[in-house]
Each structure stands twice: as C-alpha cells, then as structure tokens.
Structure 1
C-alpha cells in the first residue's frame, strides 16, 4: 500500500471532521438559556474570548458590577475553540504591520502587549485554569530565499526601536530546533508567544466568571439593542435583558450594531491534527523546545506540538464566501485538507505514515488593517472590539480592557492610542468586496511564487492601507 507521504490523501482516511480541542469528554455542559427578563449593569454579547475577558475584567475592576453574558451557541464553540492555540503578545498582528501603521507608538504597543501576555499568564495561575499554558515563544521560518532577508529586516527593526530583538537563526540553527528540509532560516521570538489549549482557556474563563458572579446564558442569541431612557433593551428568543451598558464580542458573526458590519469580513481558516507521535517520530523532528512555528509566505502555515505530542498544522488557504456568509456547512473544505496534508509531508518527510485524527475549519473576523479596532455606539452605551484577524487569543484581553475603559468613560494610556482612536477602512459592498478579495488572493499567491515581488494591485492596496491576511 502507498505510504501517506507518497499519497497524502491516505493520511486523511480516518479523520474526524470536528475541532480537536472541542472533542473532549471534559467539555463542560452548556448553561441554560435565558427565559424571562433580566436587568444588569453590563450585558456582554458573545461567549468567545472577547466576551469572556470583558465579563471577567468587569468583575475584577468592580466586584459590585452586575454582569450578564449571553452566547448564541455554547461558550468557546467558534473561533475561540478552533484556533491554533498561539497566544501572542503582539497587539498589531506582528511587528511589521504595527510599524507600517503606528510607527510612533509601536514601542508603547509592544510594551502594553507584553504586559497583557504577562497578565494572561497570571490570570491562568490565579484561577487555576488548566489550559496547557507554555511560554515557549515562536519561530518564524523562511522557506524561500527572499524570506531570509525579510526576517533579518524584522530583527533590525526591533533593535532600532529599542525592542527585545528576536534571535535570527541560520539554516543549521533553525534545523537544530526543528528539523525540516524546507527551513532556510528562522527568527525566534523567545518571550512574546505562549502555547495553550484554546478551548480549555475558554472553559476556564467561563468557570472564573461564574465564580465571580457573572450570570451566563448559553443558546441565547441577542437581537439589536434598543435605547430607552438611560438604558438598553435587548430581546432574546425567550426573554429580554435591560442593561445600562453593553459590550459586543461577536467576532466574525454579524454585529447587532449594523453600522460596524462593513469593517469586518469573515474568512475561513482550516487545520489538521495528527495522531500522537511516538518517541522515534518525535526524535526525527527534534522540536524539544516546543515552540510555535509559522512560515513567512503570504499564504502561510502555522504549526505547533500539543501537550499529548500531536502536531497541529493549519493555515495556507484563506476562504471568503460571497455575501459574508457564516454557516456550518462552510467549516469543512476537502480540497484545503488535501493541500494541508500535502504540505505537511513536504515539510516533514521523516513523518511518512503519520495519520491525521482531526480536521476542522471556522470563520475568522478580519479587517483591512489586520488588527483589532474599537469604538462605541448608542451614545457611548455600547462598546465593541473586532477584527483580530486570527491573532485574538491574547489580544482579546487587551480589547476587553479597551472596551471597559470606553464604556466607563476613563481616560487611559490605552484609550489615548491612535490605534484605539482610529478605524480601519471599511470593505466595499458586494460584488466589489468579493472581487477585490479574489484579486488580492490571486496576487498574494503570485507574489509567493515570484520571490515576494508584489504586483501593482498589492502595491495599491498597501498605499491605501487595505490588505488581506489570515
């Protein structure tokens, strides 16, 4: 029989089409839906990281604040339970993106991001959240010659700004950390990224919120808020909530505040998880430092080792559905799974014969500047934080603090940031949105194949402050 490496499709023959992180017998039971009416000081809509961090931080700031959280499905079921488990300090989707957009305040953003990651680690310890948190760092690897120069430039930029410079690794040094014939160089950020089990983090935050007195209702979708007097009223299928303030953590799903919808588009990302690796297989790839890894292409892969010695392999394809549709039937894409399997064995040919136990996908909220944006609506009574573009495991805690600052009317170092005070450019309406994203995708693929050279379309997007990433 042909091996998995010779025919990668065979490695997918026994794959479960469900997120590995959520396929856990310890997954907590959902809380009951809201039935009847509720009143509170703060209503949080959305039970992913943004909503959970907002509810938790609201109670930590003021234990007497009455907080209700409603989730349309179950806590952590969407992006918060389907991502790769990379918890990064960066608030700007990487140094390069931050330098291009907010160069004057990038040192401040980097300092706040590092502090945010430290506080996530402290929160995990304080509440006893068992989420396999490991401060391993991350290595960006070059798999094409032109990417080597790009990694060196990133290291020089960090040093010039007085930031903790990542360590440049030549071919031999990076392969001593993780052995792949495709690796030409690497850039190791030793302190700015942690690995964790994303669903367990969400479930742990849920437990911590409940312990602090947050009332959580699952299977409770919220409709658009209606302002009445000094409060907001939000209808749900079996009741309603009246609140003084409201925080939105709706991620890629249509926001109850319609005017912010053009700023976000949902794109689909997919991942594979291998079966547990044996000692000989682990020895063949090295990877004793357990760092997260990603390559440096426009259509990049991210990959890491789990606590039970599996390899998660995701990324590459970025799938947008016409009309911004977010539907369960879009979660799986066999052509993408096949591509991912082929690329996995190209990266690690020494793992020939390994099978994939799980395959899944899900929607990411992305915006034209690749990193979160913030604001208020309904006369300052509604706050929102959106557009994390796949880097929300860590940055959502920062977003929660920004929202609470804005809703409380506090003048803070966070709210004075131009990053917080500005908005990304909105996406155009359909069919221009679909066409523009398609042209951008094609151009990014072409750039990867042509030594990183960007065509006129990508250069125009760069100049306009628009773009597309995963």
Structure 2
C-alpha cells in the first residue's frame, strides 16, 4: 500500500499463483486509451481570448456542457480548456457503464429523496435517451449497447436485499426484474451468483474514451474553440464577467462552467465537499467461443455485486471482460498524482476475485491494468451550485456514475447560468448540497474508521456497526 493511503481491507482473500501468472503480460495503461483511434491533441491556448462561455475541463462534464451550450444557442461563443487531453482522466478510464440513475442507484436515491425519486428516475431516463440520440446524431463510434445491468447477490443476506429493492421499485412504478439463483445463472453462470435484480433499460455499455473523443469532435464541428494542455490556474472576477489565467494566456468570459470534478475546484469553498479516491480495473484478453459458452452472458448486461466493497464487470465489443472495483483508495490530504494510477497489490487481489467468480475461465490472461481518480461526496451523487454572483456554475461529486449523469449536470449548469427555473433546477437534489467532509486529520481518521466498518459489514452478513449507523443518521459516510 502506498504511504499515506487508506483502503478497504480484503480480509482473508489472498490470491494464489494462477492469479499472479495471469498478470504477467499486462500493460500498465488504460485499455480504452490504448487505441490507435485516439485523436491528435489540440494546441494549447497562447495569448488572450474572449468568449461568452468558458468551460474548464475536457472530460464528459465539460464536453457535454460545451456541446449543449452550442445546441441551445448556436451563436454563443464557447471556449473549452483542458489541462491535458480530452478524456484522459476519469472519462477515459471508467468501466463504460452509462446509467440513467442520477442518484447513484435506486437504494441511495430512495434513502435521500424518497418523495422525489420517481421524478429523478424519469429525468434520468430522459437523459440517457438523449445520450443515445446524441451518439447516433453525431455518429459517435463508441460501441453503444443498451443492455441494462444486473445487481448481484453473492452472499446469502444479499438475496433478501435485492428482492426487497425490486419490490420497492415496483411500488414506485420503476421496473426492476428480480432473478432467483437459477434465473441469474441462466443469464451469466458463476457459482458465486445467488440472485440478482436486472434493470433492463436503465444502463447502456459503451467505450468511454471513444465517447469522449466523439464529443470532442462534435464540439469542434459546432464551433467550440477547444484548447488542450491548457490548465486553468486562477479564477477571478473581471469587469462584468470572469477572468481565468492559464500558463500562456488568459480567457475573459461572461460566464464560466467548471467541469473539473475530482481535481481541486477553482471555487475554493466547494473543495471540502469532495474527496478524491482511486479506483482500479483489469482487462482480459478476448475470450474464445468455448470460453464465452462456459459463462453464457448472451444478453451482455453490465454486472455488479451488492457488497459495500463491490466489483463491476462487463463484456467489451471484442468479448474481453473488464473487471474492476473492490478497493477504493484515499490518500492523506486528498493528494492526486500520476503515481497512484497503478497499484499492483490491488490488481493481484482483483485477479484472485475474478477466478473465484469465473473458475471456468482459469488460464485467461489480463492484457491491461490501470487506475484513476474519481470524485465522491458524502451523499454519493452529484451536487450543483453557482459562485461569483451567478457567473460561475459547477457540478461535482458523481462518485463513479458520471458517464451518464454528467450530461444532466451540464444541463443543470447551463440552466443555473441562464437563471432559468426548470424541471431540473426545481428538484431538491439540485437545490441542496451534501454535508462537507471535515478537515485533516479528522477526515483521514473518519474515512479510515468508515472503511474498516464497511469491510466488517461485508464480512459479517451486512450488519452495520454503531459507527456506520451514526454516519447513516447524519448523512455523512464514505461509500465504494
């Protein structure tokens, strides 16, 4: 473990030699970014610019904001600046699960906004439909397939939990299909699967880097001026608008939208609400026909298990399996560095878990290992706001479900900047904020105790100790 890092303990899950040998040839690079289709970087901003709207950040949040701004008003002058290259961070490193959920899943939404959840679910599905339409309209080649996702029970106590989730959803008019042991194993065959809930239409799978690159191309086609290798170093009022400094110049803008997510916000008062954590994934070699037949998976759904300390996994267009999650790593002081993007001890653990889930795939090799930083907040779903008298908007805190929800967040930021009261901005989810995290070293200690408690709950039949129950009551916690 890296010095100064906290993570969830794996207990007695020590992987054996087959897990280690499966990693021998793996390249320490993100699979999605290791692609000859990657576009050439745009030049950096040199000198000064003026515009109506400046978007800071070239991940999904910033790209959707720039694109939607031009769709709403083709005459609006939009500039986007990105510190490195579009899609290089979380947008190009995630699992490619594009979910309709805006609330980090049904259970979290029900716990936080029970009265509003049907409306939030409807908004989320409309948002996912709009993403699907944009992919088709702009010809974005990102292997988009709306297969849904199965939330799996892999421990006996979780069977009742997933069944109850489907029943509660039905009571709100939300269709989630409960699958018993035989039904779930008919979909995907693993000896660890005991039951599941299939959200048939609420999740699409895609190639995340190619989505980001397609959005970048669409922005350029609509006239967005996009600069890469251009970090924003300072945000301050400038006359009736805002000024943003960069290493080689400055941008003066009437309005600014911040899509920096896990990275320190240019609005300093937002920073205590966000904790950056590291997540990791493996990618297998392509599976052969016999290997695929041994696990089924004909409907190609996304999969995740129901533990606090969960895995997410899916098939790619060329029939590899992406296997990620489980460990979630926080570094003291919220430090972010390229050095944390690789973590062999986590890869060894994940490989052992993979072969426990799919023993019939013994001998499969992993070709890529990678990690990346994501933004989380105490309610595990995005929050929104404005600063500098409404001239700056932000959306942050997606907690790993930003592939879909960032488009909704982009719409919210544009609504807030316009001063419009919309169906989106009227929701409690948009109008409220999570509790901030305490400063260090209390943050470090609190996260450590919470992580230890979550691991104990996973190992102890889901029973939450006094600490977790107290965190639940005040709405402050730390989830994987």
TM-score (norm 1): 0.98
Could you tell me how far apart the structure 1 residues matched to 2:466 and 2:41 are?
50
Q: Does 1:114 align with 2:140?
A: no
Count of paired positions: 466
Where does residue 385 of structure 1 map in the other structure?
A: 395
Q: Distance in 2 between matches of 1:436 and 1:6?
A: 35
Cα distance in 2 for partners of 1:158, 1:184 equals 20
Q: What CA deviation, in whole Å up to 9, does each residue of 1:268-295 have, x standing for no partner? A: 0000000011111111111010000000
What are the Cα deviations for residues 377-400 of structure 1, in whole angstroms up to 9, with x where unaligned?
A: 011000000000000000000000
Task: Specify the alignment match of 2:32 in structure 1.
Answer: 21
1:203-254 Cα distance to aligned partner (Å, 9 max, x none):
0000000000000000000022111220111110001000000000001101
CA–CA distance in structure 2, aligned partners of residues 87 and 170 of structure 1: 25
- What SS does the corresponding residue of 1:415 show, helix, strand or coil? coil
Superposed CA RMSD in Å reads: 0.8
Residue aligning to 2:324: 314
The structural deviation recorded for 1:466 is 1.0
Q: Which residue of 2 is the match for residue 219 of structure 1?
A: 229
Q: What's the CA shift string for 1:80-126, capped at 9, x where partnerless?
A: 00000000000000111111111111110000000000000000000
Matches within 5 A, 1:270-289: 270-289=280-299
* Kept after mapping to 2: 8 A contact 1:20/1:273: yes
Deviations 1:155-182 (A, max 9, x none): 111111122x211111111001000000
Q: Are the counterparts in 2 of residues 91 and 371 from structure 1 also a CA contact under 8 Å?
A: yes
Please tell me whether the aligned partners of residues 231 and 243 of structure 1 are also in contact (alpha carbons under 8 angstroms): yes
Contact (CA 8 Å) 2:355, 2:361: kept in 1 or not?
Answer: yes
CA contact under 8 A between 2:18 and 2:363: conserved in structure 1?
Answer: no
Tell me how far apart the structure 2 counterparts of residues 317 and 422 of structure 1 sit (CA, whole Å): 29
Matches within 5 A, 1:187-206: 187-206=197-216
Q: Equivalent residues in 2 for 1:356-435 (5 A)?
A: 356-435=366-445
Does 1:90 find its partner at 2:92? no
- Is the partner of 1:323 in helix, strand or coil? helix
How far apart, in 2, do the equivalents of 1:411 and 1:173 lie? 45
8 Å Cα contact 2:376/2:399 also seen in 1:
yes
Counterpart Cα distance in 1 of 2:199 and 2:226: 37
Structure 2 contact 234–246 (Cα < 8 Å) conserved: no
Quote how far apart the aligned CAs of 1:326 are: 0.7
Task: List per-residue Cα deviations over 1:343-381 (Å, max 9, x = no partner).
Answer: 000000000000000000000100000000000001100
Q: Does 1:293 align with 2:303?
A: yes
- Aligned-partner SS, 1:363: strand
Do residues 45 (structure 1) and 46 (structure 2) align? no
Alignment of 1:453 with 2:448, yes or no, is: no
Mapping of residues 70-85 of structure 1, within 5 Å = 70-85=81-96
Deviation by residue 1:410-462 (Cα, 9 ceiling, x = unmatched): 01011111100000000000011111111111000000011000000000000
Q: How many Å separate the matches in 1 of 2:244 and 2:196?
A: 50
Query: Is the contact between residue 5 and residue 345 of structure 1 (CA under 8 Å) also seen in structure 2?
Result: no
Q: Which aligned runs of 4 or more in structure 1 are off by greater than 4 angstroms?
A: none
Deviation at 1:469, TM superposition (A): 1.6
SS state at 1:240 partner: strand
Give the superposition deviation at 1:467: 1.5
Partner of 1:68: 79
Cα distance in 2, alignment partners of residues 179 and 326 from structure 1: 38
8 Å Cα contact 2:238/2:252 also seen in 1: no
Question: Would the aligned equivalents of 1:11 and 1:353 in 2 still touch at CA under 8 Å?
Answer: yes
What CA distance in whole angstroms lies between the structure 1 residues aligned with 2:282 and 2:229? Answer: 28
Q: Is the 8 A contact 1:5 1:349 kept in 2?
A: no
Structure 1 residue runs without a partner (length 5+)? none
Question: What secondary structure does 1:72 align onto?
Answer: coil
Could you report, residue by residue, the CA deviation over 1:142-201 in whole angstroms, capped at 9, with x for unpaired residues? Answer: 0000100110111111111122x2111111110010000000001100000000000000
Of 217-226 and 399-408, deviating more is 217-226
| Counterparts of 1:298 and 1:67, CA distance in 2 | 41
SS at the partner of 1:22?
coil
1:464 to 439, 450, 474: 474
Gaps of 5+ in 2: 1-14
